[in-house]
Copies of this chain bind each other. A is one copy, B any other.
């Protein structure tokens, strides 16, 4: 048999004070004499009392909880973002509800409604559906900060990395090594991130007056398998490129496997640049040259912005852009 969890009522009774006094002690919202506040503290201790956030939230309208919606926890980029975001959330006494959409727009909408029902104080969203409309929500005074992928036409707060510039640098790097036939393996170009990378790549190519050949451009799914198929096809073609820039890490994985299967040497025969840096990229063989995004910092900044909004900041929306960094390792080398 178990007694139910204690309430302020119980604490008040034991400490022989009023409920209001207990509340004052807990929230330091009024001065309470040393003697009484000590009695209250003792009573809380004795009963193992923990305030009920639910009841508090109902009264205050604040839940001290934020939501994070993202496409896929299984993509190691996101856990890094989460870590950064959680860090600042916890520092501000906020809890985080995590929602996975599994890259499914329908789930994304559901999750948003669930979070709304939970009356979270705000949400961070890495959009699954590039065409999602968040305006209705933001207008309801439901603070939202977008990170990584920004939906089309979104006017609110956002934090991204400079995908255009990252891709530009990656391609520049390949060009500087003497490569001219550079293939591009890009993810879903409906996504703001991948579109920007596509454009960054193109700018570098055009600047150097290099041809952007149709047979070197692939966009589509973002699965290992896709990368593998494209790799097989591309590597056996007569006019195979001498370098490839791949904007998605799963695609890259498949491509690298195809490369190994074809006996093509990297970087001697073909140079490879990937996107995103993880624990294993440096231990891959060959060590991968990649564009690294400051994922954790991105999470931090996004959450900081959200915290500001929650605290009532109503300045005009900010679009923060962080700089990615090209990390040159062994998978890229001079053209032969």
Contacts and interface: CB of A to CB of B under 8 A. Distances in A.
B95 A96 contact: no
Contacts of A57: 54
A95 B97 contact: yes
Contact of A119 (B54, B98, B254, B279): B54
Contacts of A86: 98, 100
Interface string A284-327: 11000000000000000000000000000000000000000000
A143 B65 CA distance: 22
A309 to B, nearest CB: 14
Question: How many identical subunits does the complex contain?
Answer: 2
A83 interface: yes
A229 interface: no
Interface in A97-128: 97-100, 102, 113-119
A235 interface: no
Interface in A35-84: 50-55, 57-58, 63, 65, 73-74, 76, 78-80, 82-83
* Top 9 closest pairs, chain A to chain B, by CB: A285-B285, A98-B98, A73-B79, A53-B117, A253-B283, A54-B57, A53-B118, A54-B119, A257-B283
Given A2-B140, A73-B83, 18 more contacts: A2-B141, A50-B116, A50-B117, A52-B119, A54-B119, A55-B58, A58-B58, A65-B118, A74-B76, A83-B100, A83-B102, A96-B98, A98-B98, A250-B279, A253-B279, A256-B283, A280-B284, A284-B284
